[in-house]
A and B are shown apart, each in its own frame.
Chain A
Amino acid sequence: SAVISQKPSRDICQRGTSLTIQCQVDSQVTMMFWYRQQPGQSLTLIATANQGSEATYESGFVIDKFPISRPNLTFSTLTVSNMSPEDSSIYLCSVIQGEVNEQYFGPGTRLTVT
């Protein structure tokens, strides 16, 4: 299975600022995803990070708020822009390696906005 790392592991940020989260995979993967997990809740897909093209966002998420980069097949970034306390969540990246059901997750980035 793919080994996924995320940076930072956690951060406390002031409202109005932006934070960029990095996701690094130890092997080349075609599909990478970004999820949000709000406190005490399940995971919600933010977007699919497409290599070489713009990310595909889910309903309720927009590029201006969550810009995503995917410069190659092993790396992606998610930026949380103009943060508010409602953005306090765990942000997780995931990858598919093989079949769609073989989806692996990074450890998450725990963001607190004050």
Chain B
Amino acid sequence: GESVGLHLPTLSVQEGDNSIINCAYSNSASDYFIWYKQESGKGPQFIIDIRSNMDKRQGQRVTVLLNKTVKHLSLQIAATQPGDSAVYFCAETPGGYNKLIFGAGTRLAVHP
């Protein structure tokens, strides 16, 4: 099937290592920040979110960090597995709106 993210920056990691994917967002008034994972041929899948009044949130093997001072968001994946290989997008929701504004995306390639 058609691939997404052919021209996106790529992060290559070894299986078992930790991965850190970064994102710069644009709107200081955004309420929510969300990370999505998109595998080839599929729609984006929700991973984890964080509200603007938090700076860290943990899920299963994933952690999202929010730095509002520099408008930076990161996704940390612990013990990266081959199944984590995908394109990862951050998204933000402007205050008072329900729509998502997506960042550029990063392709994560996990090597055995």
Chain B residues in 8 Å Cβ range of A62:
none
Across the interface, which residues of A come within 8 angstroms of B61, CB to CB?
none
- Chain B residues touching A, majority SS: loop
Interface of A, helix, strand, loop or mixed by DSSP: strand
Beta-carbon contact of A100 and B32 below 8 Å = yes
| A residues in contact with B46, CB < 8 Å | 1, 102-104
> B24 at the A/B interface (Cβ < 8 Å)?
no
**Cβ-closest chain B residue relative to A39:** B6
Segment at the interface with B among A13-21, A43-51, A63-71, A78-86? A43-51
When the two chains form their complex, are residues B102 and A44 in contact, meaning their CB atoms are under 8 A apart? Answer: yes
Q: Which of A45, A48, A90, A108 has the most CB of B within 10 A?
A: A108
Q: Knowing A100-B32, A107-B42 are in contact, say whether A42-B102 is a contact too (CB < 8 A).
A: yes
Chain B: residues with CB nearer than 8 A to chain A? 1-2, 4-8, 31-32, 34, 36, 41-46, 49, 89, 93, 98-105
Binding site for B on A (CB under 8 A): 1, 4, 10, 31, 33, 37, 39-45, 48, 58, 90, 92, 94, 96, 100-108, 110
